[in-house]
A and B are shown apart, each in its own frame.
Chain A
Amino acid sequence: MINIKINGQPIQAEPGKTILQVAKEHDVHIPSLCYHKDLNPTGNCRMCVVDVKGGRTLQAACVTPVWEGMEIETNTEKVMQDRKLTLELMLANHPQDCLTCDVAGDCELQDLAYEYKAEVPAWGAKGTRYAVDSDPNPFIRVDMNKCILCRRCESACAEIQVRDVWGVSSRGFDSVMVAGAGVPMLEARCESCGQCVAYCPTGALSNKMNYGVARAHQVRKVTTTCSYCGVGCQFDLQVKDNKVIGVHSNPNAPVNGMALCVKGRYGYDYIHHPDRLVKPKVRRYLLEGKQKSDIRETIFDTRKSNIELSNVGSPWAWVETEWDKALDIVAKKVAETRAKFGADSMGFLTSAKCLNEENYLMNKLARQVIGTNNIDHCARL
């Protein structure tokens, strides 16, 4: 351990850690933009500057390691002025559309501008420099006018997804983030995982599917487990008006942290698809007391079209019923089949998409109620 001072307070710090890390551990607030704890620090935004005694200039806390005897001031007038100027330089080149911006309220630049009372300078750039919503990727909305060149997207793609889609093109004021060599993201081999969006501190990269639908303070978050593959990623469903409108990374997710894949992050809209089954349905013949054996030849006659079969009058047409009716039909048929042909004449396919608790009940239904071990699911398929 080494001895340092932050704002006059003596602190024991672990050698090798950065000023920002040590300050965080001791609840000393240093603002940052390009820094994110998951990513390698790049020190390029200069928001985290601090005054180190003996230093020629202010130092970026995210990339400066602590040393024995180091004395750091985090909030002197000079430091505060410098950070404010940094913010003003960013705002001078940033659209003033917080009123309509999708990420207002969930924007690190906005929060810092508020904290530092940074105004848009009169000498700022006028008008937009890049096309808004410039990339055809169906999930990710790109608006480089809002980019502050923190390069978190580049780091997230390289260090989390390890796909290297993002990079910087040009120099100086013309610097801009590009996918590949300035091509659409998918052409730059983007996997649409949305990691860049999750780490973007502004509205430069946002989610296209729910653009303009809700802001951060208007949604309820529900932490849950993904319904696609066996990795078991967790994330926060964004809920507004009884609708899942998005999926956000939850940094505390045990398996995946902030990482998600395209299906987990963007494949959620099936939940509210109009095709969803909303009423129990039974075939008409069941309501008319007929036997399937009497009508089988007609219904599976391939010469008949589906439309004809689903005609209201057809014995094979679906009829919506109440739960009671449908459940009674099922229970009676199941009991009859068991009585007539024995327990092993029945098969149960449970579901690898359903809950543990539901799978347990299917096992109990087959074994306790019916008395058969004819139960399986798609593990083999």
Chain B
Amino acid sequence: MPIPGPLRTLLLRTTPTLAPIRNRAVLSVSGSDATQFLNGLLANSVEGKQSYGAFLHAQGRVLHDIFLYTSASSTAPTYLIEHDPTPSESQPLLNLLKRFVLRSKVRIRDVTEEWAVWAAWGESSGFEKREWGWATSGAVEPIWRNSVNWPWGTDHGVILDRRAPGMGRRLLVRKGDRPHEASTYDMLGTDAYLLHRIMHGVPEGSTDIQPLHAFPIESNLDAMGGLDFRKGCYVGQELTVRTYHTGVIRKRILPVVLSSTTLTNTGPSSNLSIKPVTPAPTNSNPTVARTPRLRGTSTLLSSISTSSVNPSTAVGLALLRLEHLRPGVELFADETTSANGQKWKVEHWWPEWWPERPSCDQGAHNVN
């Protein structure tokens, strides 16, 4: 199902836009062993360049999704790790990293006070065509081998946000300074970035990628270019690579449209359960009878009210069981148990950039 047309026109901003990204923390990791240290811990390979990735738990769950910036430094390699510091079941990233320093020549400091994070998008960069590699499990990854330049960008503190085509750039700016784009771009609030992210199907931070619960591939980290399935050992590699080769991906985070039957101006709360409803079989429609009983629930993650466009609607991201996404099955998120709660109809769409899986007879071309 594609995104409903009118919604797309109304919600997708295609003019140059700048918005602050709130609630992000920055750690500085420097020292002669910094590259090797981070490469042993991050699920993406670290080779002195900027990128996007995640720290995983030894049992393969995500702890923190992060952006890795390089910094213009004097002598030793210096990286800046931008992440969501919201307290969760996982330890703060600083404590987590410090446990692995041991005798490595690495210095880790919290430098959140020095930096602000901005997103810039809507610049005319042309349509980006991407190559994809599929695994039989359903994991998919972008292939950058034809790109002349490093995909995530080489300007210190400016990351080309390749998590999805059209995401734009991510800017790490000294706190108090304004990005130079501020004079020419439309300057919007932090909600504009959330909407931008949802419309592109890009999960981020602890609301979408729940620490110690989320799996990296189910959270689209493969498709967003945050996982390297061929590098050597890193914490959590064992389960991730086994899933890639021999597992089956049963869930994905996808954008959804939420509509309430009653009038409301507020969006739904996060972490709502989404349950499938199968219509009762009828004689006129016997195929419905063949639908097996659907087990389990899906989960609503970030969402934002779009009542300015359409009353009683919202858009969001949801961790959806792929088995539930079939014709005839309707999804609902019910929060009527709480005060002012609504019952929301949930309709997903696959992001426009999401690659089409080659059919099985042709053999998924495995990029090993």
The answer to whether A and B belong to the same complex is no
Contact surface of A with B, Cβ cutoff 8 Å: none
